[in-house]
């Protein structure tokens, strides 16, 4: 497993570099081909390469879901080299989530019967899954369960609840003028942007766990010109769908403060919340198989599991590597946990596939996986 993780980590795959992601997909395909004796389907959408394995003649009943893209730019290996020392594996993207991809392939290889299993490894999760969302939802809709190989929460906890995410870009159109000669003839997009930043920040509700964060912003072109344009990116995280709708309506209802300014809002709801109800039965099963040693966590980050849970498909997340430092300089994986967590994943997959559709876990709407077909 360490050798396979090293292969993937050394094949850098920043999401926006489609050529790099395609090379990474071939590295994943090679490992899967060796372990599973099967060639994956390569699905290229908008230039991004995704991989899918399906086993059996019928529709999939279990989906192992992961991604092989990372946030790390090409050349990161020079400053963050792959290494294993004192039981800790390091390297860009090892924790989020190349180790999880390897775990999925090794767990699938251990199954005595893969009939009904699908494995989907996407290439654009880190940028919101713009080209893979439809693929993920289509693959999951017949499934009794989805196991997401994102990295574990602190202490190895499984992720049974995730916030939903909305992403916006607020763009301001003003009017340029000379800042010294006749600033009164301009409409200052920077000042308008300041008003809108304060307005969206006020939409946060700490009591409900709703965060609304104005992030990257820009205004103007030169120091002696009234800014004619400005923009800000806004990141929204919520625990429930009602809050997500409330914030969405409020952002789309923003109005200019300055006479003559115009506002355009792009973006919207990206991922629905992953509610604890979608994970409860699968977590109970996993904990039973692990002799009651598992813990669970609610986290602010989202994953592709939010999409499948939003469809009402039972979804359990955080089944990947234990470690820490996702997206950070200290990204790492605890080597000793790899075999234990992979064995748990294999046991979970074998149990769900053996149950068959007649005894599938109920989904978030109280229906079985059979009802989804």
Strands (E), the chain: 41-45, 48-54, 62-67, 83-85, 88-90, 117-122, 145-148, 158-162, 164-173, 211-219, 229-238, 262-271, 296-299, 315-316, 323-324, 332-334
Clarify whether 69 is annotated catalytic.
Answer: yes
Question: Distance between CA 194 and CA 315 in Å, rounded?
Answer: 40
* Under 8 Å between Cβ of 363 and 275: no
Instruction: Render 51-92 in DSSP notation, one character per residue.
Output: EEEE-SSS--SEEEEEE--BSPPTTHHHHS--EEETTEEE-T
Question: Distance between CA 361 and CA 321 in Å, rounded?
Answer: 25
Long-range contacts of 109-114 (CB under 8 A, 24+ apart): 109/35, 109/36, 110/342, 110/343, 110/346, 111/346, 111/349, 111/350, 111/353, 112/350, 113/350, 113/353, 113/354, 114/36, 114/55, 114/56, 114/353
Question: Distance between CA 176 and CA 85 in Å, rounded?
Answer: 57
Give which of 111, 89, 86 is closest to 100, Cα–Cα: 89
Catalytic residue among 4, 6, 124, 125: 125
Catalytic residue among 6, 12, 69, 296: 69
φ, ψ of residue 145 in degrees (nearest 5): -160, 150
Question: Distance between CA 231 and CA 310 in Å, rounded?
Answer: 30
CB half-sphere exposure, 190, CA atoms < 13 A: 13
Clarify whether 243 is annotated catalytic.
Answer: no
Give which of 287, 334, 302, 13 is closest to 136, Cα–Cα: 302
Question: Distance between CA 64 and CA 231 in Å, rounded?
Answer: 38
- Catalytic positions are 69, 125
């Amino acid at each position: 497993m360490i050798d396979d993780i090293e292969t993937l980590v050394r094949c850098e795959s920043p999401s926006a570099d489609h050529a790099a992601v395609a090379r990474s997909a071939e590295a994943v395909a090679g490992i899967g081909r060796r372990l599973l004796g099967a060639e994956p389907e390569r699905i290229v959408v908008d230039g991004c390469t995704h991989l899918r394995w399906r086993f059996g003649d019928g529709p999939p009943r279990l989906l192992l879901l992961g991604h092989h893209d990372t946030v790390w730019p090409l050349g990161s290996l020079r400053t963050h080299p792959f290494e294993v020392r004192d039981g800790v594996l390091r390297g860009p993207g090892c924790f989020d989530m190349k180790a999880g991809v390897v775990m999925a392939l090794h767990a699938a290889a251990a199954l005595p019967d893969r009939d009904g299993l699908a494995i989907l490894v996407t290439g654009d999760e880190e940028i919101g899954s713009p080209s893979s969302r439809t693929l993920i939802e289509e693959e999951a809709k017949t499934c009794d369960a989805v196991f997401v190989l994102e990295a574990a929460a602190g202490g190895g906890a499984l992720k049974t609840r995730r916030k939903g995410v909305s992403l916006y870009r607020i763009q301001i159109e003003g009017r340029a003028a000379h800042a010294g000669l006749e600033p009164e003839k301009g409409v200052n997009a920077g000042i308008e942007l300041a008003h809108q930043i304060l307005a969206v920040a006020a939409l946060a509700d700490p009591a409900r766990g709703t965060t609304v964060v104005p992030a990257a912003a820009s205004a103007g072109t030169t120091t002696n010109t009234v800014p004619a344009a400005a923009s800000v990116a806004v990141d929204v995280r919520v625990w429930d769908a009602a809050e997500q709708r409330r914030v969405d309506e409020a952002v789309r209802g923003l109005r200019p403060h300055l006479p003559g300014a115009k506002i355009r809002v792009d973006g919207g709801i990206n991922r629905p919340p992953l509610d604890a109800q979608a994970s409860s039965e699968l977590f109970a099963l996993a904990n039973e198989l692990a002799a009651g040693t598992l813990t669970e966590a609610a986290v602010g980050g989202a994953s592709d599991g939010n999409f499948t849970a939003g469809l009402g498909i039972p979804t359990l997340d955080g089944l990947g590597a234990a470690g820490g430092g996702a997206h950070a300089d200290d990204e790492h994986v605890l080597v000793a946990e790899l075999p234990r967590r992979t064995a748990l994943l294999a046991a979970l997959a074998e149990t769900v596939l053996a149950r068959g559709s007649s005894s599938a876990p109920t989904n978030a709407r109280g229906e079985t996986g059979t009802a989804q077909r």
